[in-house]
Structure 1
Amino acid sequence: MKQVVYLDEVIFVNLLMNLTVLWLTSRFTGNKLSFVRGLAAASVGCIYALVVLIPGTVVIKHILIKLTITMLMVLIAFRYKGWKKFAGDFLCLFLTGFFVGGLALGLHYLLVSNFANLSNTQLSANYHRWFVLMVTIILSFCVGNWGASIWHKRMGLIDNRVPLTVNLWGNRISVQALVDTGNHLVDPLSHYPVIIMEYEAIKPLLPNEISRLYSEGISQDGSDMLTLLSASPYAQRLRLIPFHSLGNNHGMLLGIRPDDIEVCYKNKIQRIQNVVVGIYEKKLSPGTTYRALLHPQLLAF
């Protein structure tokens, strides 16, 4: 019996599934995943899936080839950060791939009888295929959001306080930061992870023009502040960060891109440049237990 394979469907489904697996891996490992790198890594997996469909390509299906493709996807998506980190990322990607594939297969057998009742067999197959894909992605998104937070809690990444140093214009401050796995804020423009820091903590590093806006009570809306500071010489460092908090569902924080930050974690000091500090006017904790909320991706070293 001749089987018809639609190339556009194979490419589209494989890209979506590969991107889902890579995103899930980034959530559990704490790696930052840019869209460009994610798409490039997903494309490698997609090309492999297309080559497998070519008749006579038996060698390409060998387990060593599959492992090599997986390693290549890890290197493209997350870069090489030492063999231990690479091995952990590789194992997580491999297990995540089994999870997503198993989830899709389970949904297929669970729902096939319901869709088989449709009068048009071809219509049934099409609806079933796309429905399974959609549900798989939605469930994977839920696991990535809530499952990763539970995982990090079990691994002890939450409620840990780490020393954080922010360097800006040649000056520096050091505070205690709380590793917050619930902090998923990123800069909408650069997609850099965002650290939330109390205004009073970062105030010594800020220019007088920014401090004056806070003292005059203009800090309620970060977009207004950004407009007022648009002509300043440091405007290119400023960012607008959307956030949600109690009683404020559509807030805007003023953010600033520092020269770099230094994070001390597990007796290692890591200097990171690609980060944004969101300035929060209120206190983050009673007293001064911690004065910043650290994005979990910044501990992925």
Structure 2
Amino acid sequence: MTLYIDVIYGLNTVVTASLLYMTGKWQGYEFSLFRVLFVALITSLPLFLWLTDYGAMLLHPVSQVIVCICTVYFAFGFKRFARFIKTTFTFYVISLLSGGAVIAMTWFWQSSQLLQTWKQTSSWATLDHMHGLLVLSTLPVVILLTQITKHSLKEEKRNENKIINVRIQMDGIVESVYAKALIDTGNHLKDPITRKPVMVATLSVLESVLTNDSLESFSTWLSAEGTKGENPWNENVRIIPYQAIGKEHGFLFAIQAAEIEMVSGDSSHILNRALIAFETRAVSSEDRFQCIIPPEMVPAE
């Protein structure tokens, strides 16, 4: 098999530029695509050492670390030591993941009957044994998966920042219950008379203060809109109208609880006679939170 140094240099430049692009996006840098490409062109030049007696130096771990650090430095500069180390580590990890993806894609293509037929019938032989094509075909997949993962992590972090702990005291008889609540800016439920905001909670938060029979009867009462079953707090019911997509109007039964305490970090805030609309289904598919709180119920920091 014959490998041409200029072809390897071109492939290494494209791969390095792609890795720098993903690193910059992950770390939130403002960077120029031209600068990233230029740095990739410069930092790929040591490959030509393979034409000399010093080519084996490139395999030494120290040489690889130096090239990695110089690549990150020239691409994004140096502002703070901690961020620079974090960026370098991110670049290194993405490089390892991309290398694993290339190996996996190589195995896939080598076992592909379609590729074998193409190699036998095609006259295109610029890259021997299709290694260049394998690398280039992997890059879009790696970039796409990286962007999806980044978006997923950012969304999860954003939601985590909106989740707080709550303590619910329904009345002076039953004990308090504890749950996690999501602060949802899209929740605009309010009592039409008092204009009090309404928290939405899944019925399962009451499992520790109600018996199974009482919980089942309350669930039936909610599902039947008060025509069947029994509500333990029937004297504190409020009817809350709402609108939703695909449904012009509807009604929720809210219970006026004695108090709700919201805890965020070291601070807490108590709402007296707050309204809670219970749902028989879970409000979070992954059970990361059990309540949804409108922003009006949370005190401004």
Question: TM-score range with shorter-chain normalisation?
Answer: 0.3 to 0.5
TM-score (norm 2): 0.47
TM-score (norm 1): 0.47
1 or 2 for the larger relative contact order (CA 8 Å, sep ≥6)?
A: 1
In our comparison, the structure showing a higher alpha carbon Rg is 2
